[in-house]
Amino acid sequence: MDPKRDDSSSTQDKAYGYLKDAIVNGAYKPNQRLKVLQIAERLEISRTPVKEALGRLAQEGLVTRDLGSGYVVQGLSVREILDLYRVREVLEVEAAREALPNLNDQVVQEMHETLAQADKLLAQPHFNEFLRVNRKFHNIIVAQTQNKVLQQILSGLDARFWSIGTVVVSRHPQRAKDIRQENRAILDALIAGDVRRVEKAVRAHVRGAANHVRLFIEREPHRFYIAAA
């Protein structure tokens, strides 16, 4: 079937969503070339929104522009993965610190509801969606910072945080329960308004994630979808 000539934002979002999910779920492997025409035909859209979606993913670091014409799935080395978590700790601690004075009852209620939704997904269990909702919890905090630069940086890394988490939790479900407890501790600290307690809770969460990733890489490096060849 010929691709439909629809270059609206909705088709770009369709292509973006499809490609992002396919990359983070491992359907497209590191260093795999992404063929624009093939993707467009599969989604029954034109090539333009596919190219635009790939441009967005390049900004997020999930794909890279090939020297020729096209994109390939970006791979990360073990060093880059661990560096990512060190950077994440600094950024998320700062985000929580900046968000603290701006919290109100409506935001706190939204965070409560988000974690309640995560609990339901964990009980089923739907790990991928559980992790998506937990990223939403952290994004709510970031949105309260009023720091556009910090928001943009963390938004650009969000897909990597989620995708790495899905690999680890799928093999070690106990990590999901740890995440639940850590995020509850963060919310309790934010409600208490204690900046030192907030910083400690965020550091514990990110370091817990980093430790699990490190152990996973040591034990099962062949299963880590973003490990560079």
Question: What is the average pLDDT across 184-206?
Answer: 97
Q: Is residue 1 part of a domain?
A: no
- Per-residue pLDDT, averaged over 17-27, amounts to 80
Question: Containing H/E element for 30?
Answer: none
Q: Which two tokens stand for residue 186?
A: 């963060």
Same domain, 91 and 36: no
* Residue 6 pLDDT grade (very low, low, confident, very high; cuts 50, 70, 90): very low
Question: Do residues 182 and 139 touch, judged by C-beta distance below 8 A?
Answer: no
**Residue 229 domain-assigned (yes or no):** no
Q: What is the 3-state secondary structure (H, E, C) of 163-224?
A: HHHHHHHHHCCHHHHHHHHHHHHHHHHHHHCCHHHHHHHHHHHHHHHHHHHHHHHHHCHHHC
Highest mean pLDDT range out of 3-12, 159-168, 219-228?
159-168
Q: pLDDT tens across 112-143, in order?
A: 999 999 999 999 988 888 988 999 999 999 99
- One domain for residues 30 and 130: no
Question: Residue 76 and residue 38: Cα distance in Å, rounded?
Answer: 25
63 and 172 fall within a common domain: no
Mean of the pLDDT values across residues 22-46? 86
Confidence of residue 93 (pLDDT cuts 50, 70, 90): very high
Between 78 and 43, name the one with better pLDDT: 43
- Pick the last residue of a domain from 20, 46, 73: 73
Q: Where residue 103 sits, what CATH number does that domain have?
A: 1.20.120.530
pLDDT value of residue 57: 86
Question: What is the pLDDT at residue 202?
Answer: 97
Q: Is residue 3 part of a domain?
A: no
Q: Could you list the residue range(s) of the whole structural domain that residue 19 is in? A: 9-73
CB neighbour list of residue 113: distance below 8 Å, 6 or more residues apart: none
What does pTM read for this prediction?
0.75
- Given a cut of 90, is residue 145 above it in pLDDT? yes
Total domains in the chain come to 2
Q: How many Å apart are CA 94 and CA 184, to the nearest integer?
A: 18
pLDDT of residue 2: 41
